[in-house]
């Protein structure tokens, strides 16, 4: 009797494993493409670090100035393609683009007057590879997920123009950052809701780290040569989008 019970339990366990494996491996429309838009909120990183120096004989004091101080919260566009390895695991490729303009920003003081600056637009094109794990199977309408990405962020050269008219600095133009291929990685989580067998809507929040921009030494000799060496940054992108699924059933 005992051996029969053990045999029955083993049979049930084997049947369960086979069924679960089949459910995990059978994926309808394993390919997908998606597009989303949102906001990339700056968390940390100095566009200009604090410094004390001299330009044209005028003493300059620069306060720490974040990316958010210079560029605010910029819109971000994301486009991706995914392939389901099984029912709950997906590999992805993603492209993101952001372009944000700068207004005149108060940076500190020049002598007794205000020291201001304007800067080139911040433009970044990010190419990522990633992984996503879903916490519900495809038969559920609402599927939470978590994932990660790693890639490279391409950022063109950024120049600046400084001015303090009352101190005699009318237009001091300088290069700040050279074109950069920054290392990028991120973690994210979100919700996917199925509208139809082919279309989903998504909402996602994450954290992204970009390594520092490539420094240019135009300010060497002014005492301000270190203001552009703390540009590594963390951001928190929040996005909303749509996803289209296609392809035949994956056995």
- Select 29-246's CATH number: 3.40.640.10, 2.10.60.10, 2.40.160.20, 1.10.10.10: 2.40.160.20
Question: Order of strands, edge to edge, in the sheet holding 113-119?
Answer: 51-55, 58-62, 105-110, 113-119, 158-164, 169-178, 214-215
Distance, CA of 188 to CA of 132 (rounded, Å): 9
Distance, CA of 117 to CA of 93 (rounded, Å): 37
pLDDT score, position 9: 40
Residues 41 and 235: beta-carbon distance below 8 Å: yes
Query: How many other CB atoms sit within 10 Å of the CB of residue 16?
Result: 10
Query: Which helix H or strand E contains 238, and what residues bound it?
Result: strand 233-246
pLDDT score, position 197: 92
pLDDT score, position 249: 72
Distance, CA of 240 to CA of 225 (rounded, Å): 40
pLDDT score, position 162: 93
pLDDT score, position 81: 98
pLDDT score, position 251: 59
Question: For the whole prediction, is pTM greater than 0.85?
Answer: no
What number of residues does the chain have? 251
Residues 88 and 133: beta-carbon distance below 8 Å: yes
pLDDT score, position 221: 80
One pLDDT digit (tens) per residue for the chain, 251 residues = 434 333 434 444 343 343 334 444 567 889 999 999 999 999 999 999 999 999 888 999 999 999 999 998 889 999 999 999 999 999 999 999 999 999 899 999 999 999 999 999 999 999 999 999 999 999 999 999 999 999 999 999 999 999 998 888 988 888 889 999 999 999 999 999 999 999 999 999 999 999 999 987 777 788 888 898 899 999 999 999 999 999 877 65
Q: What is the torsional sign of CA 217, 218, 221, 226?
A: negative
């Amino acid at each position: 009797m005992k051996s029969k019970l053990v045999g029955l339990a083993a049979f049930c366990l084997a049947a369960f494993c086979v069924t679960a494996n089949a459910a995990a491996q059978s994926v309808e429309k394993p390919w997908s493409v998606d597009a989303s838009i949102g906001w990339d909120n700056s968390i940390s990183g100095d566009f200009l670090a604090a410094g004390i120096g001299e330009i044209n004989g005028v003493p300059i004091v620069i306060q720490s100035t974040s990316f958010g101080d210079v560029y605010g919260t910029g819109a971000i566009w994301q486009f991706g393609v995914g392939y389901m390895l099984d029912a709950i695991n997906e590999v992805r490729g993603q492209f993101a683009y952001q372009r944000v303009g700068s207004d005149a920003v108060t940076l500190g003081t020049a002598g007794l007057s205000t020291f201001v600056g304007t800067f080139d637009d911040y433009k970044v094109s990010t190419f990522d590879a990633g992984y996503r794990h879903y916490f519900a199977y495809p038969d559920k309408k609402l599927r939470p997920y978590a994932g990660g990405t790693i890639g490279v962020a391409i950022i063109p050269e950024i120049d600046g123009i400084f001015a303090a008219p009352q101190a005699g600095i009318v237009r001091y133009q300088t290069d700040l950052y050279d074109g950069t291929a920054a290392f990028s990685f991120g973690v994210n989580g979100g919700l996917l809701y199925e509208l139809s067998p082919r279309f989903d809507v998504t909402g996602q929040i994450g954290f992204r780290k970009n390594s520092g921009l490539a420094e240019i030494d135009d300010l060497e000799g002014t005492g301000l040569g270190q203001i552009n060496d703390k540009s590594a940054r963390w951001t928190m992108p929040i996005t909303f989008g749509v996803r289209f699924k296609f392809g035949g059933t994956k056995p």
